[in-house]
Amino acid sequence: MQLLSSPTSPYARKVRVVILEKGLADQVELLPGVPLGSDADAAPVRAANPLGKIPALIRQGAPTLFDSPVICEYLDSLGHGPILFPHEGEARWSGGRDGEGEREGESVREQERESARARGRERERERGARA
């Protein structure tokens, strides 16, 4: 299996934690995923996930999985050790929420948008200086 991910994605980090906790590190190759890069950089992510997001888990001979809760539960079903995502009972409803990750994700996205705006302003200044 191959995981498209990045160090800054909280969703991808959650999946990497599951990979480690479930003893699957030797079965999952980590590949860089750049969802918000240039068309060329983002192409592998868009090819793997129609939503153009990371994480995405590419499986040999089976459809690619995307959306971190789905990926996490799938990996949980494969690996060793205690179940991390209970299937039933109170434990199912009291754990595994994505709220923290979403807040962190929004903060990362805002930083990326601000970097893109700063690069745009820099390019404008360079064009102005050359004119």
Ligand X SMILES: N[C@@H](CCC(=O)N[C@@H](CS)C(=O)NCC(=O)O)C(=O)O
Q: Which residues bind ligand X (CB under 6 A)?
A: 9, 11, 35-36, 52-55, 67-68, 105, 108
Q: Which of residues 117 and 125 has its CB atom nearest to ligand X in the complex?
A: 117
Q: Which of residues 38 and 80 has its CB atom nearest to ligand X in the complex?
A: 38
Nearest approach in angstroms of CB 130 to ligand X is 32
Q: Which of residues 41 and 126 has its CB atom nearest to ligand X in the complex?
A: 41
Nearest approach in angstroms of CB 11 to ligand X is 4
Torsion angle in degrees (nearest 10) through CA of 19, 2, 33, 39 = -160
Nearest approach in angstroms of CB 32 to ligand X is 12
61 burial via Cβ count (<10 Å: 0-12, 13-18, 19+): exposed
Nearest approach in angstroms of CB 77 to ligand X is 17
DSSP alpha helices (H): ranges in 1-130?
10-21, 39-48, 68-78, 90-94, 99-130
Q: Are strands 29-32 and 56-59 parallel, antiparallel or unpaired?
A: unpaired
Q: Which of residues 6 and 22 has its CB atom nearest to ligand X in the complex?
A: 6
Torsion angle in degrees (nearest 10) through CA of 42, 19, 69, 83 = 170
